[in-house]
Amino acid sequence: MKATVTSQCMGDRNCNKLCPEVFEYDEDELLSKVKFDVIPEKYEALVRQAAEECDANAIEIEE
């Protein structure tokens, strides 16, 4: 699974709180970034949850 954060991110940091192992916040660009090219399997469920909870629909998942 791959995940990306688009420019629609509004910076509420929900994904960062939910799964800081995967999502980090870029203070310069004011949006979240994904730390992995391929998401480790143990974080996949949390990444899916983050995408569902993201009010900006800014987390795109590619299976």
Residues near ligand SF4 (CB under 6 A): 5, 9-15, 31-32, 54, 56, 58-59
Minimum CB–partner distance for residue 7 and ligand SF4 (Å): 10
Half-sphere exposure of 57 (CA within 13 A, CB side): 0
Nearer to ligand SF4, 9 or 39 (CB): 9
Q: Do residues 32 and 24 touch, judged by C-beta distance below 8 A?
A: yes
Nearer to ligand SF4 by C-beta: 40 or 52? Answer: 52
Burial of 35 (0-12, 13-18, 19+ CB in 10 A): middle
Nearer to ligand SF4 by Cβ, of 4 and 40: the residue is 4
